[in-house]
A and B are shown apart, each in its own frame.
Chain A
Amino acid sequence: MRRLSWFNTTALTLGFAFLYLPMIILVIYSFNASKLVTVWAGFSTKWYGELLQNEAFLDAAWVTIRVAVVSSTFATILGTMAAYVLVRSGRFWGRTMFSGMIYAPLVMPEVITGLSLLLLFIGIGLDRGVLTIVLAHTTFSMCYVSVVVSSRLVSFDQSLEEAAQDLGCTPLESFFLVTLPIIAPAVLSGWLLAFTLSLDDLVIASFASGPSSTTLPIKIFSAVRLGVSPEINALSTIMIAIVTIGVVTASIVTKRNAVRQQRDEQMAERAGE
């Protein structure tokens, strides 16, 4: 191992401190026994217990998870289809415009997306509730999925699909039997991305939600406006933990697969000699 120079060490420390210090403080204060956020009064897990008693938070959490699962699934289906068409169908009239337009929601201010969706829902007389949040989240997270999936499709060897058709598949069969299984990791990471986006979206959800359907971020935001409570810290810590476990698991699995693949290839080449 090479030792880092003092400059690199400092840069690294500052960078990571900048990223993680706020979260560490939040996690520490979630175990604070005191009700006052800024005063440390010893270690306690009572806020986690109280959180479980809080019906409003639990309801919001349930809404959030349902919305995230359903909207990320729809976004994945639509986003994959869009990516496939844009990458595969070659040059057609307006292709550049379409591929530009699919990325527009990435740069569009969320407030504008939210507002325009709100106007649409009022215009067509759709009552705001879980359904409207699902629709809104599908709309804005679909383009993220399509970015992830299309970057995988660009490097996809098209002769694999031709081979499938050559061996008797219709174009549809070749998509489901060959293309989809191969790009599945990209589709899955697109789904995870859409899921996370939906999970922590506040702005668009606040436009699209109704009185009966409050998501967790909205709940947290409105609770914080009345003052930061240790309960919120505990809730946030749980969310951080869930996300961390997800990311760490995913990267360990990817790393192990890559290592195994490399080892297999080396063994195969040696055996073939």
Chain B
Amino acid sequence: MVQVATPKPVFAPWDDPTLAPLIQFKNVTKRFGDFVAIDDMTIDIYEREFFALLGPSGCGKTTMMRMLAGFERPTEGKIFLGGQDIDAIPPNRRSVNMMFQSYALFPHLSVWDNIAFGLRRQKLPKDAISDRVNEMLRLTRLSKFAHRKPHQISGGQRQRVALARSLARAPKLLLLDEPLGALDKKLRQETQFELMDIQEKTGTTFVIVTHDQEEAMTVASRVAVMDEGVMVQVDTPARIYEAPNSVYVADFIGDVNIIEGRATQTDENVHIVWAEGQPNIVGTATDASFGVGDAVHFAIRPEKVSISAEKPADTPNAFEGKILDIAYLGNISTYYVKMPSGQTIKAQTANTRRLSRRDFTWDDSVWVSFTTTAGVCLKG
């Protein structure tokens, strides 16, 4: 017998046309008076996904979540959950649970009773409730605190109680509204992995709202970047970062250099005129089709820009400038290099050695360079 090692399939249900989505927004619009919170949104979310809604405050991400939970109703359009139109179903009869930003733990009930609250409403037998609560306590490592009241436990433990309570009814869909917002940075990073672990163990579909891009990138299978009630881009974290579809997304996620210019020549590469007296930037044409004369925003991440004393020979994209500023962040250093034409290009280098003489200092003349595939050309 020959064992054929099958590679672990990549989790990408959104690429499988035979799968029916768990959640469907169909042309959903939500208005509060004159204010349009959600503008004609259509989106599919699949089972077992960890879907992150990312955007600045007021972009409509919380409204979207509240519509899924049933606390708001769409002004126009329909929302389907498992193929069923959920407009007329009140929050208490939806197989959707929510973890609130404030945790919303019931202060008059113990941790145990908080977790049992939803199960008691389902009129389950006592034994079943008790088994399920204990299972949730084990899952969130809270067994020791079962009989404490919410004010008798720490912030991180409260966060876990809120999670256990919302998972206890085994919902089809769990909504998390800024679930880690109240935790400090270190605890937040640990908890992110815990969340992913729990999501995998329970197989529940998670939709998370966050304004922290690092958090969204860490936990999510897909990220939706939102702005003013519109989803600007919905994609995997890697594609959101490496292939943003707009200046907004490129700028919102991570650090980026945006260089404005105009396309002069388009073959397999786009040649961009961007400053007087500078050679053209040569970038790879993405799916956007550029014509000669079109305005182009060339977006390149600082870590893809190298910095050197001599002009590198292997790339057409090499430009000379002066170091304006250096930001030393410990693990990396960011150099702000000023071009003769006035733009500043950020270049990042990893500080891989502990003790080394810094190669460059303020006012040094240096070359910044990048390969032709390092950046993306975006329409203005």
Where the two chains meet, the residues of A that have a C-beta atom closer than 8 Å to any C-beta of B are 157, 159-160, 162-170, 173, 177-178, 181-182, 261, 264-265, 267-269, 271-273
CB-nearest residue of chain A relative to B187? A272
Q: Which stretch from B13-21, B80-88, B98-106 is at the chain A interface?
A: B98-106
CB < 8 Å neighbour of B98 from A160, A166, A267: A166
Are the C-beta atoms of B92 and A264 separated by less than 8 Å?
A: no
Check: B108 CB closer than 8 A to any chain A CB.
Answer: yes
Given A157-B102, A173-B121, residue A167 in contact with residue B169 (CB < 8 A): yes
Would you give the 0/1 interface string for B88-126, flagging 1 where the beta carbon is closer than 8 Å to chain A? 001111001110111010111000000001100110000
Tell me which of B92, B104, B157, B169 contacts A169 (CB under 8 A). Answer: B92
**8 pairs of A and B residues whose beta carbons are closest in the complex:** A272-B154, A168-B121, A167-B118, A163-B104, A159-B104, A264-B152, A165-B91, A181-B108
Within 8 Å CB of B93, what residues of A? 168
Q: Which residue of A lies closest to B97 (CB)?
A: A166
Q: How far is the CA of A12 from the CA of B225 in the complex (A)?
A: 63
What 1/0 flags go to B169-206 for Cβ under 8 Å of A? 10000000000000000000000000000000000000
> A53 to nearest B CB, angstroms?
47
Q: A178-B106, A181-B108 are in contact. Are A166 and B92 (CB under 8 A)?
A: yes
- Give A176 to B96 CA distance when docked, in angstroms: 22
Counting CB contacts under 8 A, is B153 at the interface?
yes
Task: Confirm or deny: B156 has a beta carbon within 8 angstroms of a beta carbon on chain A.
Answer: yes
Interface SS of chain A: helix, strand, loop or mixed? helix
Residues on B with C-beta less than 8 A from A265 are 151-152
* Contact among B70, B102, B154, B166 with A268 in the assembled complex (CB-CB below 8 Å): B154
Chain B residues within an 8 Å CB radius of A163: 98, 100, 104, 106
B77 in the interface (beta carbon within 8 A):
no
Q: Is the pair A168, B154 in contact by a Cβ cutoff of 8 Å?
A: no
Q: Which residue of B lies closest to A267 (CB)?
A: B152
Residue pair B153, A272 in contact (C-beta under 8 Å)? yes
Residue from the set B71, B92, B98, B153 with the largest chain A CB neighbour count within 10 Å: B92
Complex-state Cα separation, A162 to B166, whole angstroms: 12
Tell me the smallest distance from the CB of B239 to a CB of chain A, in Å. Answer: 33
If A268-B151, A269-B154 touch, does A167 touch B108 (CB 8 Å cutoff)? Answer: no
Q: B153: which of A164, A177, A268 is its contact (CB, 8 Å)?
A: A268
Q: For A181, what are the chain B residues with a Cβ–Cβ distance below 8 Å?
A: 108
Q: Which residues of A contact B96 (CB under 8 A)?
A: 166
Q: Which residues of A contact B118 (CB under 8 A)?
A: 167-168
Are the C-beta atoms of B100 and A168 separated by less than 8 Å?
Answer: no
Q: A159-B104, A181-B108, A272-B157 are in contact. Are A165 and B90 (CB under 8 A)?
A: yes
| Minimum CB distance partner of B94 in chain A | A166
With A and B bound together, what is the CA distance between A267 and B153 in angstroms? 8
In the assembled complex, which residues on chain B have CB atoms less than 8 Å from the CB atom of A261?
151
Q: Please tell me if B69 contacts chain A, counting CB pairs below 8 Å.
A: yes
Q: How far is the CB of B102 from chain A (nearest CB, A)?
A: 5
Given contacts A167-B118, A265-B151, contact A162 B91 (CB under 8 A): yes
| B107, A167: Cβ atoms closer than 8 Å | no
A160 and chain B: residue at smallest CB distance: B104
Measured between beta carbons, the chain B residues less than 8 angstroms from A162 are 69, 71, 91, 98, 100, 104
Alpha-carbon separation in the docked complex, A269 to B156 (Å): 9
Assuming A166-B69, A167-B121, is B149 touching A264 (CB within 8 A)? Answer: yes
Residues of B within 8 A of A271 (CB): 153-154
The distance from the CB of A125 to the nearest CB of chain B, in whole angstroms, is 46
Give chain B nearest CB distance to A50 CB in angstroms. Answer: 48
> How many angstroms from the CA of A241 to the CA of B117 in the assembled complex?
43
Return 29 A-B CB contacts under 8 Å, by A number.
A159-B101, A159-B104, A162-B98, A162-B100, A163-B100, A163-B106, A165-B70, A165-B91, A166-B69, A166-B70, A166-B92, A168-B118, A168-B121, A168-B169, A169-B121, A170-B92, A178-B106, A182-B107, A261-B151, A265-B151, A265-B152, A267-B152, A268-B148, A268-B152, A269-B155, A271-B153, A272-B153, A272-B155, A272-B157
Chain A CB within 10 A, most for which of B90, B106, B156, B166: B106
Q: A166-B69, A167-B92, A273-B154 are in contact. List 15 more A-B contacts (CB 8 A).
A: A162-B71, A162-B98, A162-B100, A164-B117, A166-B97, A168-B93, A169-B92, A177-B117, A181-B108, A182-B106, A182-B107, A267-B152, A268-B148, A268-B152, A271-B153
